[in-house]
Homo-oligomer: A and B are copies of this chain.
């Protein structure tokens, strides 16, 4: 019944439903690999803060062990945590995604920018999309084999494919915008002179 964690809290609970106990540090790494594409990868300090809250609410069980000279705490989701997560997913309306798209924001005011800057920005974005696609492909491939119908990583796999498609679509949109710019802006001299 506790309800109403910040979404990042539920995200962490979600990452803990894949069976293993994780340290805060590992949790952050897992977030960087997956969450980052569809949500935000919280800062380390935020992960620890959130874990303490979840522990306090009994949604997560902290297990402090001495590993040599240092204390290492691993976290696992509890029954109550599972319930809270399910309560959230079931009770919350779909909710439209929030996009913070700096590139689009700047394209929107393109008339106030130097034309070369606009196309430079779009080309940079293409590069970043390449990098993201490469990363996500790796994630996707690492899921291969464990993503058959009944299996554990079927959903992450589904989501990864969604993401790959999304990035591919972004590439198309970027190229189209770039073409549309080139068409009008530079009817004579090309932006990147051939060698």
A residues lining the B interface (CB < 8 Å):
7, 10-11, 14, 17, 34-35, 37-40, 82, 85-86, 89-90, 92-114, 117, 121-122, 124-125, 127-128, 132, 149-150, 152, 154-156, 158-159, 162-163, 165-166, 169-170, 172-173, 176-177, 180, 184
- Pair A155/B107 contact, Cβ less than 8 Å: yes
**A71 and B79 alpha carbons, distance in the complex (Å):** 57
**A102 and B10 alpha carbons, distance in the complex (Å):** 10
In the complex, what residues of B have CB within 8 A of residue A110's CB? Answer: 154-155, 158
**A132 and B114 alpha carbons, distance in the complex (Å):** 31
From the candidates B90, B112, B152, name the one contacting A117 in the complex (CB within 8 A): B90
In the complex, what residues of B have CB within 8 A of residue A103's CB? Answer: 94-95, 97
* SS of A interface (majority): helix
Q: How many identical chains are in the complex?
A: 2
In the complex, what residues of B have CB within 8 A of residue A35's CB? Answer: 105
A38-B99, A89-B113, A97-B99 known; A107 and B159 CB under 8 Å?
A: yes
CB pairs A–B below 8 angstroms (28 shown)? A14-B106, A14-B108, A14-B112, A17-B109, A17-B111, A17-B112, A37-B99, A38-B99, A39-B99, A39-B101, A39-B104, A85-B112, A86-B113, A90-B114, A94-B121, A94-B127, A97-B99, A97-B101, A97-B103, A107-B155, A107-B159, A108-B155, A111-B152, A111-B155, A158-B180, A162-B177, A165-B169, A166-B173
